Structure 1
């Protein structure tokens, strides 16, 4: 065993990284079903040009620690890594530089891979995937085919944000005050043909699935809110003079309180009514203004309650036959629900504010304070038991009774049905961009849609000289030969939009299990064995994007008999953000506070970085960077090295002064690792080291400690393991065990009070009798002083907790 006091990560870390790579230490035999499985997964990164930032290693280290522990506990561990490599940044780079996006992406992948390897992660690099690899996106296209065949992938007309000057569709966040964020050009809402995925069809299954998974409740609640299921009634309203429309309501009991209806300005209903409208100029002007706004401007950000009447047009309230005026208001969206809402200003805040703004009368139909057109706030009704008023034969019924009775009446009239409505909308699945998966469909000369045969997949993305779309057309329109299809007598034109970046990431966790399979997405036996993912770690920003899409695709594949599980990710954890030392998110605003992990590795070593990021605080919390903390982590590793690398510090046998602290350390570290409490596990390791440096350490305790430390700091762990006389990797050694009896304390410290105020403490044996505790407690200096000149009235002892003396 060497005797050195110099811990040198610059020589130790590359040595073990080379060893792991050459020996394929972490390669997983996915067909080994003899051991229990553990599948740990990180949300894979987009390989940007700037490489890793300080936040990446945090979540990656967490899964790495668990993977290493589980491997030592006898599990067959799958811990892969890949790249979400399709996306807009590479395309923009290509447009600006004239280089192919694939070259840029491959260069970035190489950079990322090098950085990940220098951090010592136990990834099985043989299972590396990239979503832009044709061998991967062949199966993304295949899944799209199945979605289309089953009626979930659709080609429909739908409203989009269209910018004529830029010649492209824009997302809501690219539109500001009716103009494009880039260039300030006018943007209007118009209908365009789009590929969409009918995710609404999966809404109920997604809601049910949330009850089966171990996810943060805040994330599950965000998904429930995003799905936005509402149970209610859809009611038909006849338009005077001809025509009808429907509304959806969860408050059918307030139907007698309707004093106006509001229609979506850009909806088909209003379009059909325009010839009858008396104030056509006003209405058309309002419609034109609405078309300049995105959905966010019209809903969440709408504070003005703008709108105008459709003069000369009314509808009939079916429950009482009364005529109701029609208005248009931009807060009603043609793409949401029925594009029409009933307005009950006495009992709805939005309706109330609209009625005040447009001088519309109100009818109170739920008991409570009077509400009229002169009121300044609406009348709420809360809780069970509130009764109806001004509601004809339903007056006097409770809200709950009236819901059922009014619904039944309308159902018998044939104008209503019970249904559910969702906030969920179709997932727009087409992008007028280049760097994405080609959609495997062809538009035939007769207007029909033809999907490619399986043996035509993958449909390879062609290389272009010009990656920029022109005149509102997708860049693939420039691929003049590629887009023309002539195969087996079938002629047509290929779809030139590509899939969104979220396509490949919606199922990638499956492909890791069998990444080189060219015959099927994944072998069914392997899917059955390895799914679901046992631990998934990533940022909370994906709560209603990637995580929702993955659940949708998995549920579809489950329904098709391909995925063996209803939910893909059994346990989900969101790591917190690592902030700059100024407490603010690292970024361009404060470049001096941005931390490059490669710089830390260069100056301190990868193990120091890993240890520091795990010791900063709870994994889920956001934490500011501290250079002093990095120095502290390095000092601890020096302490570990300087002690365990000296042979004279180790002895044979077990027991001795370190017995209790060792067994308590194994117990706590094991428990804390399981619950991802890495910071408290490290604290316990520090307690052990503080005790160890004062004593000789049994070699078996040294080995157990180094096994645990190696999960966090694998390079120094491997090196010390070798110095202890072993010639094999530590990665597959047996996890240390502890004896519960040896974790128990012999003594405990309790507080001694006089009249409820602590006057001192007393160390007692855990089995010390009450009389002894009371006798010795009164002798504690502070207690004795507090009792001078007083008579003891009562003595109260709570075993092992506290001793209180009542005295006058």
Structure 2
């Protein structure tokens, strides 16, 4: 018999699945539903890499299993297709971004189909489709109407090469993540979304969700809720520098202050500052760093003291110096901090660097290492009115003292900043707004949505940093929807994150012209039951989409307060050299090559068998070959099948155990151990003279979610009725997965001294007889009197001696 011919067979079944619409999700709201979701990709010109199939196959396994369990499954795919890389490519090659996007999507879709993924392609969506972004614009209008969208002049990260504003997350090492160009700070009027309004709920509602712990921790840390005080430090210029601190009890240890290089105090009192030139030079340096770089804990501490202005510590009434340093940001807190070097590692490093005073104010803290004492055992020292108090009591007393003096107030603070929502580029959703001299900013009527992108001759950003749309006079000039007077359209476009913040809702009802989805569809499909995506999106897309969804819930547009009931994340697939795959490293593996040589079923199996799904793992060509050899062995099982409607006695227990193991492991991301269990079962199949139809049917159904093409072909060749996609997931008998024998611990006076292998239904007498033949037990009982024996069937045997 020939080996498995993957090229012909895989194409055959992909066409059959399409023809029969095997994976279509129906709006049959009477059936139990299941909604697994993977992050839809950005369709780049490079196409898929071998990292993409890992999460897609994982949830494909879950989707296929759920269908076999009788669920109506919504497993879908679409395209997050707006974005700067496409625009840059279009500029460079003089091709319209829409044409580039269309070509990239065709390529991506071919690759995804070649993997045999069970997506319902009838619900495919594309964020650049006007019928889609009509609703992105509608959501923005609602945010604007509810006061959650506003415009603000602010410093942004400006890529000097792309000529576009970047989010902090898009700046790495002081350069643009996408093009490597230099990034500087530039003042720009930007649209903002008030995600901070939802900060508490974004934290608190995590408790009710089935998210892996590292996702919850990352989101909570990013939002960064702090409970503390705002305290006013008066300056020698009679200004007030307000600081936020979670440790007001350490105020007596505040020996200097640090403010942001951008703080207005410098500009307002330039005439009183003796070293203004040095401060301005330092400020220019800071402009070239992203906020991430500036706040990096391990970076060298730099700064300049302001000569000519000091601050007054409100507790000690002593003058203390004011410094500027780039690790303090105007965009976080108040742009000023009180520095307590005795109990904060960063302040300690800074004080050591510039020879500033260090005072211990909490006993028990390792001042030499800048340890921050934050426990109930710490006792306050060198602190006048709170001396001798423990930290919690000291916090309360100093807070009351400062509040009574009008020098402070209790506050809750967040690290989370409002979302910068403007992009000065062409290839994004147009903002549905006009600026009217009389009425201010006004939304266009919903009846005029979608506001589509006009054709432009050039996609180049303008030299002054405006969008290419800013040059289109005919498009810009319009009338105000409110007063009818002359007005101008907003020329900024939305960021790529806009379309991905609600796409999961559109899958529920992708062709609805009257709403982004009907409430009937949302009530049935939402929330997403299982969402898998990269950890790199935890503080971006995942947070943004939770915010949008909560807002839509508040206005009655969706039925759940959270979009995703469950969130997991996968590890990266690295190159064989254990480094991240990249063209520059020469270690990229093209999935097309693997499918061509070994088949999609082999690639799917390998990526599930490669290791712990949640951890990064290196690629291995040898292991790919090993998976193909396993599939070839499975293929040859059809040579030796006999009739039989029940499992044979010799395989019955193992069959039920394997069903249990595979069923549970598919549900808990343990795909590698599920496949290992199937490999063990195959080995047992090879040891017997033959296997029967019941055994091969169950085996093929269990393997099908991982390797669907070959299993469907074998099912057909063996003459079984229908297709595997129409079958039912096998069930195990709980009584038949119990081992006949178990390993039982034997204790002497409560301490485990040995183990015995014993029948599951053995008696205490049987346990005694076996234990007394064990040399270790004999050693601990010889010459001693057994006063008691405790026997728990199937679990433990304890001998008490004296």
For the criterion TM > 0.5, the same-fold answer is: yes
Q: Distance in 1 between matches of 2:171 and 2:203?
A: 31
Does structure 1 residue 744 correspond to structure 2 residue 717?
no
8 Å CA contact 1:607–1:712 kept in 2: the answer is yes
User: Which has the larger displacement, 71-80 or 175-184?
Assistant: 175-184
- Deviations 1:57-83 (Å, cap 9, x if unpaired)? 111111111111111111111101111
More moved, 759-768 vs 84-93? 759-768
2:705 is paired with a residue whose SS is: helix
- The superposition leaves residues 548-577 of structure 1 with CA deviations (integer Å, 9 ceiling, x where unpaired) of 111111111122222222221111111122
**Which whole-Å CA distance do the structure 2 matches of 1:610 and 1:440 have between them?**
43
1:667 maps to 2:660: yes
Structure 2 CA distance for partners of 1:54 and 1:414, relative to 1, 3 Å: same
Which is further off, 726-735 or 298-307? 298-307
Report the Cα distance in structure 2 between the residues aligned to 1:742 and 1:370, rounded to whole angstroms: 60
Equivalents in 2 of 1:293, 1:703: separation in Å? 61
Q: For residues 720 and 40 of structure 1, what CA distance do their matches in structure 2 show?
A: 28
Aligned to 1:581: 576
Compare 672-681 and 478-487 and name the one that shifted more: 478-487
Rounded to whole Å, the distance in 1 between the matches of 2:502 and 2:512 is: 15
> Residue deviations 1:328-381, cap 9 Å, x none?
33322222111111223333333334334444444443345898xxxx665753
The equivalent residue for 2:543 is 548
Moved over 4 A (4+): 162-168, 170-188, 301-304, 368-371, 376-380, 748-754, 758-764, 769-780, 790-806
CA contact (8 A) 2:374 2:391 kept: no
The aligned length equals: 793
Distance 1:557 1:774 in 2: 67
For structure 2, the residue ranges without an aligned partner over 5 or more in a row are: none
Tell which deviates more after alignment, 678-687 or 502-511.
678-687
**Residues 378-389 of structure 1: matches in 2 within 5 Å?**
378=370, 380-389=372-381
The offset of 1:726, in angstroms, is: 3.9
Note the alpha carbon deviations across 1:49-107, whole angstroms, 9 max, x for none. 12111111111111111111111111111101111111122111111111111111111
Query: How far apart, in 1, do the equivalents of 2:651 and 2:697 lie?
Result: 13
Is residue 2:226 matched to residue 1:234? no
**Residue aligning to 1:146:** 142
Matched, 1:117 2:113: yes
Aligned: 1:478 with 2:471: yes
- Residue 238 (structure 2) pairs with residue 245 (structure 1): no
Sort the Cα spacing of 1:688 and 1:189 in 2 relative to 1 into closer, same or farther, 3 A.
closer
Counterpart position of 1:631: 625
1:469 aligned to 435, 452, 461, which one? 461
State the alpha-carbon separation in 1 of the partners of residues 660 and 172 from structure 2: 56
**SS across alignment from 2:190:** strand
Are the equivalent residues in 2 in contact too, given 1:28–1:77 (CA < 8 A)? Answer: yes
Superposition pairs of residues 518-533 of structure 1, within 5 angstroms: 518-533=513-528
How far 1:802 sits from its partner (Å)?
9.2
Please say if residues 305 and 354 of structure 1, whose CA atoms lie closer than 8 Å, have aligned partners that are also in contact: yes
In structure 2, which of residues 348, 351, 365 is the aligned counterpart of residue 352 of structure 1?
348
Q: Kindly indicate whether the alpha-carbon contact (under 8 Å) linking 1:160 and 1:190 is maintained by their aligned counterparts in 2.
A: yes
Unaligned runs of 5+ in 1: none
Higher mean C-alpha displacement, 125-134 vs 308-317: 308-317
Tell whether the 8 Å contact from 1:263 to 1:270 is kept in structure 2 after alignment.
no
- Cα deviation, residue 759, structure 1: 14
Distance 1:177 1:726, change over 3 A: closer
Q: 1:680 aligns with which of 658, 673, 683?
A: 673
Distance 1:777 1:403 in 2: 62
- 1:424 equivalent in alignment to 2:420: no
Deviation at 1:291, TM superposition (A): 3.6
Alpha-carbon deviation of 1:187? 6.0
- Is 1:24 paired with 2:18? no
- Give the match's secondary structure for 1:583: coil
Change (3 A) 1:258 1:578: closer
**Separation of aligned partners in 1, 2:357 and 2:42:** 56
Which of these residues, 46, 49, 74, is aligned with residue 50 of structure 1? 46
Question: What is the SS of the residue equivalent to 1:193?
Answer: strand
Q: How far off is 1:194 after superposition?
A: 0.8
Judge conservation of contact 2:601–2:710 (CA < 8 Å) in 1.
yes
Give a deviation string over 1:395-423, Cα, whole Å, max 9, x none: 22222112111111222223322111111
The corresponding residue for 1:642 is: 636
CA contact (8 A) 2:274 2:308 kept: yes
TM-score of the pair, normalised by structure 2 = 0.90
In the aligned structure 2, how far is the partner of 1:365 from the partner of 1:629? Answer: 59
When the two structures are superposed, what TM-score results if normalisation uses the length of structure 1?
A: 0.90
Equivalent in the alignment of 1:493: 488
Conservation of the 8 A alpha-carbon contact between 1:645 and 1:723: no
d(CA) in 1 for partners of 2:207, 2:34: 22
| Superposition map of 1:306-321 within 5 A | 306-321=302-317
User: Corresponding residue for 2:434?
Assistant: 442
Q: Which moved more, 1:331-340 or 1:173-182?
A: 173-182
CA contact (8 A) 2:576 2:618 kept: yes
Q: Does 1:403 align with 2:395?
A: yes
**Alignment equivalent of 1:159, drawn from 147, 155, 158:** 155
1:617 corresponding residue in structure 2: 611
> CA distance change for structure 1 residues 54 and 734 in 2, over 3 Å: closer, same or farther?
same
Of 606-615 and 77-86, the range deviating more from structure 2? 606-615
Q: 1:174 to 1:41 in 2, by over 3 A?
A: closer
Find the aligned partners of 2:534 and 2:161 in 1 and give their Cα distance. 36
Contact 2:530 2:564 (C-alpha < 8 Å) held by counterparts: yes
Return the offset for 1:454. 0.7
- TM-fit CA distance, 1:6: 4.3
CA separation of 1:417/1:630 partners in 2, compared to 1, >3 Å: closer, same or farther? same
Q: Distance in 2 between matches of 1:625 and 1:187?
A: 35
> Are the counterparts in 2 of residues 28 and 78 from structure 1 also a CA contact under 8 Å?
yes
Deviations 1:775-797 (A, max 9, x none): 577889xx79x999x97878999
Could you tell which deviates more after superposition, 252-261 or 111-120? 252-261
